[in-house]
Chains A and B, each alone.
Chain A
């Protein structure tokens, strides 16, 4: 295909813009800006000559309309055939003026933040109501579904939990042993790491894994159901989506979360024990230190926190999914929102627990 030629010439005090060649989308790039600039600069008496144009498609017509719009005065058309003239006439009718304005970003952001807050509060309230009215809606719960959720969120996550806990235990032990050895206190690494794991790191790491694996999966699954109008179908059938979809997931997350935390605890202690043995401490000394530094209540406090974290992550994952918008992007956004929200809320709750336990002397 030949290239488009543009010529701008003066003629009798006016300007002539001549366009030749194929005026099509793939050929117009070299001349578009120059042609529009020439039309804008031209005074009265602009003529546009397209007698050399081999073809004028809608992109070519778009250029001619842009020249017409950007030139303030009258235009004399030369060599414009009947078909291109009809096309331009049709496009002039179709294209309204001033439709390019967008909603100001500030308004969008303010509306979005307020709306998001309302959605979250409403969802939290709906879930509380659904939980309160559960005894009358037990038929909406499906036992098989609950156990499948537990398997996916808990059993299938255990290898990952074990590996992460083991590595974290090893890393903590190595990192602590170096400064503590300077004071001859490296035997206390066992107490330090085990206490950290039982009270903080076990539930926290378990929660991060649950948010990343399960919270995002809940959001993606429910978000897809929303996009495919499956949730709307449930609602129109009179089935409460909160009861059927949210409560089993939240319950599954609450059930598996202590197991995940315990998994991190055990694997972390094993990792720490391995490092301590490499450093020359016998297993009996390590066990003795763990027993002296920690008690059952440390483990139980950690497991209690894990249950609360599980409920929060399950709830946030379901909320993100069920409040997803339309289109495939909504599912991705819901999954991201579930992971970020789950981790942030877990850390906030952990901080709250730290204050409460401190005030209670636990």
Chain B
């Protein structure tokens, strides 16, 4: 990762509240191109809310977010051409096979002939280790396979920025580690920028170049940096407790 690269994402004093309830405020960070950036924090701290802001599903009540150089509020259509998103549940379409799920963005946004679409979709599924499962329905595969298939669908149009929501949540350690390896592998092969929302410590240490930590009590970010550095040198009790798996 080069520090000289233009930032892929800029979050500038972002805040979100629902009615009078503040979820977080004054969250600021940048994600460099080609970086694996992790958003972490305990349950209810606003990780998924921040993700929804970054992918244009939620308008920040304060601040500004740019993704791929575009403002997520004003240029959301352009932002969505720059990103791929894997939702926590996978969100695969149950009535389509894995191949059809991955082909869907290609059908919608390209004029490729059917054979070419199938060829590309098959390769994307092969990249995530699902070459043998192309004709299966989402109901016929495991949770780990569904997450891999969702990553393949997010990769369908080769977006430069990928957002992954809790990729290893609910998976066994081996499958979770496999997904971590897949993320690093894809980053090395495709030069993508990854924003990963997770609270899995092993995953964070395995994949993150940098991370931002949100906190429910603080209603905002309490740490930003390299996970190992934060573990060793942070003086914030919640940060130390999180990285050392300890009660604050």
Q: Show the binding face of A for B, using Cβ within 8 Å.
A: 24-26, 28-30, 32-33, 57-59, 61-63, 65-66, 83, 86-87, 90-91, 94-96, 99-100, 102-103, 325-330
Contact = CB atoms under 8 A, between A and B. Distances in A.
30 contacts: A24-B158, A25-B106, A25-B110, A25-B112, A25-B156, A25-B158, A26-B110, A29-B110, A29-B112, A32-B112, A33-B115, A58-B120, A58-B124, A58-B155, A61-B123, A62-B119, A62-B120, A62-B123, A65-B123, A66-B119, A83-B191, A87-B190, A94-B126, A95-B122, A95-B126, A100-B134, A102-B135, A327-B138, A328-B95, A329-B95
A297 B129 CA distance: 69
A24 B116 CA distance: 12
B123 A91 contact: yes
A329 B94 CA distance: 6
Interface of B: 94-95, 106, 109-113, 115-116, 119-120, 122-124, 126-127, 129, 131-132, 134-135, 137-140, 155-158, 189-191
A284 B190 CA distance: 87
Contact of A32 (B116, B123, B124): B116
Contacts of A57: 158, 190
A201 B224 CA distance: 73
Given A94-B123, A96-B126, A28 B116 contact: yes
A83 B191 CA distance: 10
Given A25-B156, A62-B123, A330-B139, A90 B112 contact: no
Given A24-B158, A29-B112, A327-B94, A91 B127 contact: yes
B131 A94 contact: yes
Contact of A59 (B113, B139, B158): B158
A224 to B, nearest CB: 13
Interface secondary structure of B, over-half rule: helix
A58 B151 CA distance: 14
Nearest to A24: B158
B119 A26 contact: no
Nearest to A32: B116
A24 B109 CA distance: 12
A58 B102 CA distance: 13
Contact of A29 (B94, B111, B126, B139): B111
B122 to A, nearest CB: 7
A215 to B, nearest CB: 22
Nearest to B94: A327
B94 A94 contact: no
A323 to B, nearest CB: 14
Interface centre among A29, A86, A87, A94 (most CB of B within 10 A): A94
B132 A96 contact: yes
Contacts of A100: 122, 134-135
Contacts of A61: 123
A327 B140 CA distance: 9
A63 B158 CA distance: 14
A29 B115 CA distance: 11
Contact of A25 (B94, B115, B157): B157
Contact of A99 (B112, B134, B158): B134
A83 B132 CA distance: 26
A32 B113 contact: yes
B127 A58 contact: yes
A338 to B, nearest CB: 19
Contacts of B122: 95, 99-100
A333 B211 CA distance: 44
Contacts of B115: 33
Contact of B139 (A30, A58, A102, A325): A325
A59 B120 contact: yes
Contact of A328 (B94, B113, B124): B94
B77 to A, nearest CB: 14
A91 B126 contact: yes
Nearest to A83: B191
B227 to A, nearest CB: 27
Contacts of A329: 94-95, 139
Given A57-B158, A63-B116, 12 more contacts: A25-B156, A32-B116, A57-B190, A66-B119, A83-B191, A87-B189, A87-B190, A94-B123, A94-B129, A95-B122, A96-B132, A99-B132
A278 B75 CA distance: 66
